[in-house]
Structure formats: structure tokens, C-alpha cells
Structure 1
Amino acid sequence: MEAERKAQAALPPPANDAEKLERMGRLDQVGRRVLVTIDLSLLPPEEMNAARKAMWDPVEEADAENEKALLAMAPPEGWFLKSRYGDKAAKAAFMIVQHSNLELWRRFVPVLEPLVAKGEVDGQNYGLMYDRLALNEGRPQRYGSQVVCEAGKWAPDRLEDPETVDERRKAMGFPQSMAEYLAYFQTNYPPCT
């Protein structure tokens, strides 16, 4: 995290909001890429939460900074459109909101939905945020993007109409079926407990 902050501090100021969003996106991702691969399961249970908190505190600090900056930059049309900001900047804006909170998900999910059909928002990104919002509001998720640990295996959190989840995933541009997505978690993430 600090290396990315130093690298960005050495750069000239961003030329525009798109470049600023891209830099914010790099800061959003740098810590997460490392932390999700760390297996804390070998720690005694009483130490696990303290270790997790110490690891994630700098990420959450960067998240708060990014949220504040993103909201200050929010365009009048309500979202950072691909056609105006470019794919990288639009993806960065999505990641910042996706890693934020219920208030921002409630604000942006309704804005994003009609933009998917216009090609201004990636369908998979919309699906991820929709699922996160639904589960946090006590509703089942629609696209199966959020997983939980069940009996030592990754499984989708509550799903609406599980029999047709793959059809919904495909319609939104998810590259994997539900089974392929879960297999990816099993092989690329630390064991769940």
C-alpha cells in the first residue's frame, strides 16, 4: 500500500478525472490483491480477528479517502460513463463503490442498472454490486457473486431462483458459470473454515 502511495506521489498531478480515477483504482486494488491470498487459518482463533484487522486497516483507510474523492467528482449524470471516462476509470469507480458501504450501494445500483443496457456500465460489475446490496438488505442475491464458507467449501450465499442463476450470469456478461466460479474460489483462495 505504501509503495503505491509513494509511486503516485512521485507522479505529476492527474491530467483529468479519468486519470485520477485510474490512480484511485490502483490504490483500491493493491492491498486487496495481496491480502486475499493470506491464509490466517493457522493462527489460533483468538488471534485471527486481530491479525485480520491489522492487515485491513490501511486498506480501509485508503477506501475512505477514495470514497470521499469519488463523491466529490461524481458527474451530473450520476455515474462515470465508459464513453466519457474510459473503461479503466469506469472500472476504478465501480471498485471504489463496490468496496464502500450500504449507503453508496443504495445510491448507485439504481443508477447503474439502466446504463448496463446502454453499454455504459459493465453488466458483471452491476451484478456484483446488486448482489452485495441485496444480501446486505436481507434479500437473496441474483447473480451468485457473493460466496460463503459451508462445510469447508465455498458456496454461493443465498440465491434467488438458483436453477436459473447461470442464465442470469450469462445475460450480465459473467465469464463463468456458477460451478466454474466456485471452482475458481476453491483453487485460488485460502481454504475456508
Structure 2
Amino acid sequence: MAIALAPPPTSAPLDPDLGMRIIAMSMAEQEARFRLIGAMQRNDQAALQIAMHDVEREDRVNGAELKRIVASVGWPTYTRVGREAGHMAWLIVQHQDADPEFQKHCLRLMEPLVAKGEVSGTDFAYLADRVAINTGGMQIYGTQMSLVNGKAVPTRLRDPHRVDERRRQVGLGPLDEYIRLIEQMYAPPKS
């Protein structure tokens, strides 16, 4: 899958109110995810259960709202909602693992927008891999990891010898750097 990258638009968004709404949705979701990661790092089972419930609730609410937005205006492009909100819309759909059909629908909407600079190639790559994994396929950019004995391992990676070339095409750094980052992010705190 060759993706051509174009620079994002630089003008003010056409619908800044929608952009602010998407940002607010994503911020609530991210706060819940940060609490979840913190509970995992502390091995705090009670906080972990609460945070998991909060993440599931935010994902459900945000998924339903993003579906309404996409049905109304299509994919929230940089021109329509701004770069930050466009990225946040991707983050919301990235976390819709309970609805891989919606993820696939959004991926199809996003793909032609990458070449126009209306969607990030990096965001597209992460969602393409997520959809592949969630539907039993093989990822091509190596963005989806499993932790095995504290080590990050790419989940079902197609043609691993060419992964860094594919990652470079969409603006991602080398896979080994990403693996180190994931391992640091999910490592328990040092005492």
C-alpha cells in the first residue's frame, strides 16, 4: 500500500466548533487512558478496574458521537476541523476496537485524504494496522504490539524485512525505536 503524503492545509478550519467538540471528546478519553496506564504501572488492581470501566465508557460514548459526525460530514478533515481535531478524531476511531466495521469504514474514508494533506499518513498507518489485526489480518506498518514478558513484539507483521521502508513512507520512524518507546511506556516504575 503506497501512500503519497501532502502537507496539511494552513488556513483556519471551516468548522472550529466541531473541531473543539472532537478535541473535548478525545481529551476525556485520553485522561481515562492515562489513569489506566498509571494503574497498570503501579499494579493497582482496584484503580485498574475503575480505569478500565472509564475507558470503556468513554470509548462507547465517543464512538457513537463520532459515528454521527462521520454520517453527517464525512471524515473530519484538517480543512473542516483543524489539524489537532483531525488527529483527535483518528484517535477516537483508533480505540473503537469493539466496532471493527466502523474502523474499516473510517479507514476507507481516510485513505484518499492522505494524499491531499487532509489526514496524517501516520494516523492512517496506525488505523490500517489496527483494522488488519482486529479483522484477523497481518499489519504492514508494525504499529500494533503485544507485550511478551515485558518485551514489545509486533503482532502479526507482514514482510518484516521491509517494514522500515513502509514506515518511512508514511512518516514513521524505525520499528526498533518504536519498540523501545513502547517498552519504556509500559514498564513498571523503577523503585
TM interval, shorter chain, is 0.7 to 0.9
User: CA contact under 8 A between 2:132 and 2:138: conserved in structure 1?
Assistant: yes
Q: Give ranges in structure 1 of 5+ residues lacking alignment.
A: 1-14
Aligned residue pairs total 172
**Letter paired with 2:136:** G
Q: Secondary structure at the match of 2:40?
A: coil
Look up the match of 2:75.
79
Question: Bigger relative contact order, structure 1 or 2, given CA contacts below 8 A and separation 6+?
Answer: 2
State the shift of 1:41 in Å.
Answer: 8.3
Aligned-partner SS, 2:109: helix
Other-structure match for 1:135: 133
**Residue aligning to 2:90:** 94
* Contact 1:144/1:159 (<8 A) preserved: yes
- Structure 2 residue corresponding to 1:179, chosen from 176, 179, 191: 176
Amino acid at match of 2:153: A
| Alpha-carbon RMSD | 2.2
Within a 5 Å distance, the mapping from 1:15-164 to structure 2 comes to 16-39=17-40, 52-74=48-70, 78-100=74-96, 101-164=99-162
The 1:75–1:18 alpha-carbon spacing in structure 2 relative to 1, beyond 3 Å, is farther
Per mean C-alpha deviation after superposition, the further-off stretch among 120-129 and 63-72 is 63-72
* Shift in Å, 1:53: 3.8
Listed as ranges, the gaps of 5+ residues in structure 2 are 1-15
TM-score with structure 2 length normalisation?
0.81
Using structure 1 for the length normalisation, give the TM-score. 0.80
**Aligned counterparts of 2:51 and 2:34: Cα–Cα separation in 1:** 12
Instruction: From the superposition, tell whether residues 18 and 30 of structure 1 become closer, same or farther in structure 2 (CA, over 3 Å).
Output: same
Letter aligned with residue 78 of structure 1: G
- Evaluate the alpha carbon distance shift between residue 51 and residue 25 of structure 1 in structure 2; reply closer, same or farther with a 3 A threshold: closer
